[in-house]
Amino acid sequence: MSEQRLAAEKTGAARLSVVWNVVLMFLKVGGAVLTGSVSMLSEAIHAVTDTVAAGLVFYSVRAAERPPDPRHPFGHGKWENISGTVEAVLVFVASVGITWEAVRRIIEGARVERLTWAMAVLLLASVGNWWLSNHLFRVGARTDSVALEADGHNLRVDVYTSLGVLIGLALVEITGAVVVDSVVAIGVGLLNTKVAWNISRGALGPLLDIALPEEEVRLMDRALREDRRVLGYHKLRTRRAGPFRHVDVHLFVADQLSVGEAHDVAEKAENRIREALPGVLIVTHVEPWSEQSHQEQARSLRWREQG
């Protein structure tokens, strides 16, 4: 699939998320106003943050696809990571507000009504969010989009929280025990706190230029060792920015090679790494290998040492 089609698919998924979250926001806010339920209020607050987050995702996936420019020579990929971080903050703030309001209502007491409407909205939300989260996961995996995958995780948790609130409201309707409503809301708040933590872990790492996972480094290692003219490498530096992976590496080649031959070795090594990992922006530097090289350089011959 071409880069243009992948970008269009990613933007389309983000746009669909915005539209769906706007619809849910109005339905859940209406349900919270009609019922007076704090657990429904928690869903309404979460729907508002989801809508804002979906808007950020839509903007970020488009911004991340912009080509590099003189002011941003490494591109704009980190917009997706910024979006994920902001989404985590929004979810956490909403969680604190939900839990606070639920505790207050347990202490002061409250009453709820018209629960049938709220339960219908929650059932619709659960079905819709399940389908959309699966869609975002699929598109996020195909396009390597951190923002879409974070949005998918958020919506998947929304499915469980909506079902939990639905069960809680059904118990209130059956038993008349209004305190169940607040207890369920507290559970929703705590679960969303965990979601915020998980999203932030995935989004913050690339912002701090954390190295690529070891399994991806091993893929690069295998790609490099395919050419026996590459005698080793060192100074490998990797990081990620949104859907893009940045790699810098120094290659060791025999000092008898001409400049043209060394360039050919480096170019083919870059192409093999691009085939092994999508979205790689790689820079190589060629150095002559000598048995008298520094000990640190000798240690960089990873596959020679391992086997």
pLDDT value for 49: 83
Sheet containing 244-254, strands listed edge to edge, beginning at the edge strand earlier in sequence = 232-241, 244-254, 280-289
CA distances from 157 to 127, 188, 212 (A): 12, 10, 27
State the span(s) of the chain assigned CATH 3.30.70.1350.
214-306
Using 70 as the pLDDT threshold, list the residues of the chain that sit under it.
1-3, 290-307
pLDDT value for 299: 56
| Sequence letter at residue 62 | R
CATH 3.40.630.30, domain 214-306, yes or no: no
Beta pairing, strands 244-254 & 232-241: antiparallel
State the span(s) of the chain assigned CATH 1.20.1510.10.
3-207
pLDDT value for 162: 86
Q: What is the pTM of this model?
A: 0.68
Beta pairing, strands 280-289 & 244-254: parallel
CATH 3.40.640.10, domain 3-207, yes or no: no
pLDDT value for 295: 54
